Amino acid sequence: MFGKFLLTFIVVLLGLLWLRQVRQQRLRDATGNGRALPQAAAPALNDYRFAAWLFLALMLGLGSYLYYLQWQQDNTVLQVVLHREGGSAPITYEVRRSELDERAFTTVQGVRVTVAASERMEVLGLQDAP
């Protein structure tokens, strides 16, 4: 996620630098003497700058929202029921979705449980979660 944010930031930064250079070149061509006009002569907020800031705000907002949805899904608490061969009653554990592996899991209390080959693991709540 951080890599995607960094790549987006670099692309936006390079775009802003390129637009600034193009604008200064146009100002040099307009004056005809090869010197750029002072910054006060340039418009304070042109369309390109507004579009770049809007794009940056949209990317940050969308990235934050998607990160929040992923975090919310990973922290969903599921119930794991272990049925032991020859055991009278199954054992129920509460597990966060991100802590659930194929044959092992870590409970909400921090206990690491490894499922034996003779045990059957049933996960309740996966159908309800998006």
Percent of the chain scoring above 70 in pLDDT: 86
Answer yes or no: do 24 and 58 share one domain: yes
Answer yes or no: do 96 and 63 share one domain: no
129 belongs to a structural domain: no
Answer yes or no: do 33 and 96 share one domain: no
Answer yes or no: do 70 and 119 share one domain: no
E strands in 1-130: 77-83, 91-100, 104-107, 112-114, 120-124
Answer yes or no: do 68 and 8 share one domain: yes
Identify which of 15, 36, 16, 40 has the alpha carbon closest to the alpha carbon of residue 27. Answer: 36
Percent of the chain scoring above 90 in pLDDT: 41
Answer yes or no: do 45 and 103 share one domain: no
Answer yes or no: do 11 and 29 share one domain: yes
> What's the chain's average pLDDT?
83
| Residue 12 per-residue DSSP state | H
Owning domain of residue 118: 77-124
Residue that is last in its domain, among 74, 96, 112: 74
Identify which of 21, 47, 50, 49 has the alpha carbon closest to the alpha carbon of residue 36. Answer: 21
Global pTM reads 0.56
Answer yes or no: do 42 and 105 share one domain: no
Answer yes or no: do 15 and 66 share one domain: yes
